A and B are shown apart, each in its own frame.
Chain A
């Protein structure tokens, strides 16, 4: 089952700006997905459509194996934590739980209370008097108590201090370990998601540029470093994502490279997620997407994109 499935999904705002353009994406179940991209890439637009707050201009979007976003069935199984938690500031924490419980088809009040007790968040305090981190934790406790199949977190860490970020991520990861729910995080800072996610989606300019299993993506890509004058010969016929050259040295991020073939004088290294994402974002003409039906990966753009 795919928890999110988008086909040629487009969204245009009234001002005529395209936030998403023909984005196609399939996210398998049970993953922790990092949805990254620069500001304005369409991350929030995609997520607001997934939770049913917005509808596509064109294209198809389904959640949890075919449910229509925003329908009662989908609302009942998709939980959402917005960037600024958007809770009612004048409600107490206890009333916030009660309100959410009364609006949810599934609700585990004891679970929510236990989570908040573990974090020393007083139930009687008004939400508006809590710190940003505590508010995020209340929103998360509400989302998890709804026992969702899919948890959507839109830039949840943006306004949190490092300790609050760690606690927030720890709560989410523990829930993933216990219940196997699928999670989609969006962020423009990849570093904060790198150790949490196992699936990566890179959005750039309203389109999906990279999508795939993190381990697979990392094992498929290598960084070759060697003398600049040999670079053209070495990279001929390779899938070059990005090449950086000084007059002496050339550093090339390549895909589908067999490390056994490293030529003398060259060094092949593992890449890391941040380097990989940055390389793709800096080279918008190249993408790494799962192939249509076979699951094979295809290079969807010109093989070479060289930065002089």
Chain B
């Protein structure tokens, strides 16, 4: 079982934060197919958020084929995302480290790096056509 945590300053909608954390946990193998996702009531009691937010996240996961709702029981992980092999993750990380070193050399501080990454992610998402509204 995983626990969600929220970053109130990220600007990312709460339901999307939950969706991403489930996806993240799947990629890292923390969640396996057949695992139950935290119950809506428990999530709500822990995070003090609107139950509809959790329901919306779970619907989103169902739509993506990641999870499936079983009436009266809860929501369960259906299949694993395309797990990037560990070696692949290492390679990407090494590339990112190199890039970060270049950014630092170019005079970017952490905030500038984050802004740049956010902007790149935003543009990429727009190209894919999944911008928020």
Interface residues of A, Cβ cutoff 8 Å to B: 32, 166-167, 169-174, 176-178, 195-198, 218-219, 222, 259, 270, 272
Contact = CB atoms under 8 A, between A and B. Distances in A.
8 contacts: A32-B50, A171-B45, A172-B48, A176-B50, A177-B45, A195-B14, A197-B50, A272-B11
A32 B53 CA distance: 11
A172 B49 CA distance: 9
Nearest to B8: A195
A272 B12 CA distance: 10
Interface string B108-133: 00000000000000000000000111
A176 B47 CA distance: 13
Given A174-B41, A218-B133, A259-B133, A198 B48 contact: no
Contact of A176 (B14, B51, B132): B51
B46 A198 contact: no
Contacts of B132: 270
Contact of B49 (A167, A173, A219, A270): A173
B52 to A, nearest CB: 5
Contacts, number: 53
Given A195-B6, A218-B133, A219-B133, A178 B41 contact: yes
A177 B133 CA distance: 27
Contact of B45 (A174, A196, A219, A272): A174
Nearest to B46: A170
Nearest to B11: A272
B100 interface: no
A195 B48 contact: yes
A196 B46 CA distance: 12
B40 interface: yes
Interface in B42-63: 44-53
Given A195-B6, A198-B53, 11 more contacts: A167-B48, A169-B48, A170-B46, A170-B47, A174-B41, A177-B45, A195-B47, A195-B49, A222-B133, A259-B131, A272-B11
A222 B131 CA distance: 12
B131 A195 contact: no
Contacts of A197: 50
The 6 closest A-B pairs by CB, nearest first: A169-B48, A177-B51, A174-B45, A170-B48, A173-B44, A219-B133
Interface residues of B, number: 19
A292 to B, nearest CB: 26
A197 B48 CA distance: 10
Contacts of A198: 50, 52-53
Contacts of B47: 170, 195
Contacts of A270: 132-133
A8 to B, nearest CB: 30
Contacts of A222: 133
B119 to A, nearest CB: 10
Given A173-B44, A177-B41, A177-B44, A196 B49 contact: yes
Interface in B71-85: none
A165 to B, nearest CB: 8
A52 B1 CA distance: 46
B4 to A, nearest CB: 12
Interface string B4-20: 00101001001000000
A270 B14 CA distance: 14
Given A178-B41, A195-B6, A195-B14, A173 B131 contact: no
Contacts of A170: 44-48
A167 B45 CA distance: 8
Interface string B74-98: 0000000000000000000000000
Contacts of A166: 48
B37 to A, nearest CB: 14
B90 to A, nearest CB: 35
A173 B8 CA distance: 17
Contacts of A176: 44, 50-51
